[in-house]
Chain A
Amino acid sequence: MQPAHAPKHAAPRTEQIILFRCSSEIFAISSSSVQEVRSVDSLAGAETDITGSSVAKVRHAIRRNDKNIYVVNGAIHFGLRPSPASLIFLLRNLRVALLIDGIEKMSTMSRLQALPPAYCHEERHWYRGLTVLDQNVVPVVNPHGFLLQEELMLLDLVTGDADTPMAAAATTSQSGLVP
């Protein structure tokens, strides 16, 4: 006689997240979206200033692998009061780095709730959803929401990053508009 096997239950899916601060507000980001965490000081001198851009939340770019990585000020992006940033998240597979005040802690979320439809403006791009941790509601940021394609194209044009296909597309588009 075979021993009765306990029914197999799928383990609850979880996701590791980093809780970080921007202008005293707490946000979460999936740790899989963050490739590197650097201190602002460690990048001093390695960044290029960006002037004359209409994308106010980006003031600097970092050159890596012949591509510009644009540094987004998290506080300005979220419409918060600018605060002294100390860390930079370099986001995985994106040409975006995020300037933040600091890391609060690492945690694990087991449920991500959709942002309620009542939130109907830019925040729908900003967040993947909301999660509840220790009876607190924390917004989980969407790494793709920091810079829209058009903003990337504008920044590529300003910095002359013509090597990237994005910049080439933007240049073509612009040349079509300007006689």
Chain B
Amino acid sequence: MSWLEQSDTLSCVLLRLGERRFALAADQVAELVAPSRIFRFAHCTPEIDGVILRRGRVVPVCDVAEKLIGKKLIARRFYLIATRRQGTSFDWIALPVSGDCELIQADLTPPSATDSAHVGGWLSHAGEVIEVLNLAAITPGMISQESESETLQDATPEAQTC
């Protein structure tokens, strides 16, 4: 059962992207961290900026602002580290945000058929109607059942140099 089906009242984290605020279900949020060094390497997934290191884990950074507000964030104040679950597996993804985040309790309105895929629901807070994000729809990649890390090879014969 998804969080949408469980209850009408939901704990959410409000996040700011430019001038707009969005919400993410609190159980999908791992932590909020200050921006750190981004490591970049060759890849073909344009939504991913690179990775950061957090508690020994490699966490991809995905700027969702372009999809949600039409432009990339000029200033990144924090990374909101979110978890994506599928079955028993989960992975982390870091979303750059441009302002403070806030934990709230709010009544949730389910999305309608005409809403974009990234809308997981709606909530009302402080006179503002806010989209609750469907993380799976705005971040790339499917979560597989692959093991966390590959076994290292036993034999390491030395390369022959000429």
A interface list, Cβ under 8 A from B: 13-16, 18, 25, 27, 30-32, 34-39, 42, 78-80, 89, 109-114, 116-123, 126, 128-130, 132, 135-139
A136 to B52 alpha-carbon distance, docked (Å): 10
Contact indicator per residue, chain B 124-162, by CB within 8 Å of chain A (1) or not (0): 000000000000000111111011111111111111111
Q: Is B156 within 8 A of A116, CB to CB?
A: no
From B57, B146, B159, name the one whose CB has the most chain A CB atoms within 10 angstroms. B159
Given contacts A32-B157, A38-B162, A123-B45, contact A112 B149 (CB under 8 A): yes
Contact check, B142 vs A117: say whether CB atoms are below 8 A apart. Answer: yes
List, in ascending order, chain B residues with CB within 8 A of A137's CB: 39, 41, 51, 53, 58
Q: How far is the CA of A20 from the CA of B154 in the complex (A)?
A: 21
B60 within 8 A of A: yes
Q: Is the CB of A123 within 8 A of B43?
A: yes
Can you identify 20 A-B contacts, CB atoms within 8 angstroms?
A13-B151, A13-B154, A16-B156, A25-B42, A36-B162, A38-B162, A111-B152, A112-B149, A113-B57, A116-B91, A116-B93, A117-B84, A117-B141, A117-B144, A117-B146, A118-B47, A121-B43, A121-B44, A132-B56, A137-B53
Question: Do A116 and B42 touch across chains, with their CB atoms under 8 A apart?
Answer: no
- Closest beta carbon of chain B to A107's beta carbon, Å: 12
Tell yes or no: B59 within 8 A of A by CB: yes
- Docked CA distance A56–B84 (Å): 37
Docked-complex contact A132 and B162, CB < 8 angstroms: no
Complex Cα–Cα for A63 and B160 (A): 19
Task: Tell me, rounded to whole Å, the shortest Cβ–Cβ distance linking A127 to chain B.
Answer: 8
- Find B143's partner among A117, A128, A132 (CB 8 Å cutoff): A117
For chain B, what secondary structure do more than half of its interface residues adopt (helix, strand, loop), or is it mixed?
Answer: loop
The size class of the interface chain B forms with chain A is 35 or more
Q: Contacts A37-B159, A112-B150, A116-B91 hold; do A25 and B57 have CB atoms under 8 A apart?
A: no
**Distance between Cα atoms of A120 and B151 in the complex (Å):** 21
Lowest 9 A-B CB distances belong to which pairs? A121-B44, A78-B42, A120-B141, A137-B39, A16-B156, A118-B141, A34-B159, A15-B152, A123-B43
Decide yes or no whether B17 CB sits under 8 A from chain A: no
Any chain A CB within 8 A of the CB of B48? yes
Given contacts A18-B159, A36-B159, contact A118 B58 (CB under 8 A): no
How distant is the Cα of A31 from the Cα of B162 in the complex, in angstroms? 15
| B51 CB, nearest partner CB in chain A, Å | 6
CB proximity of B160 to chain A, nearest CB, Å: 5
Minimum CB–CB distance from A155 to chain B (whole Å) comes to 22
Taken together as a complex, chains A and B put the C-alpha atoms of A42 and B160 apart, in Å, by 14
B153 in contact with A135 (CB, 8 Å): no
Q: Name the CB-closest residue of B to A117.
A: B141
Q: Is the CB of B42 within 8 A of A129?
A: no
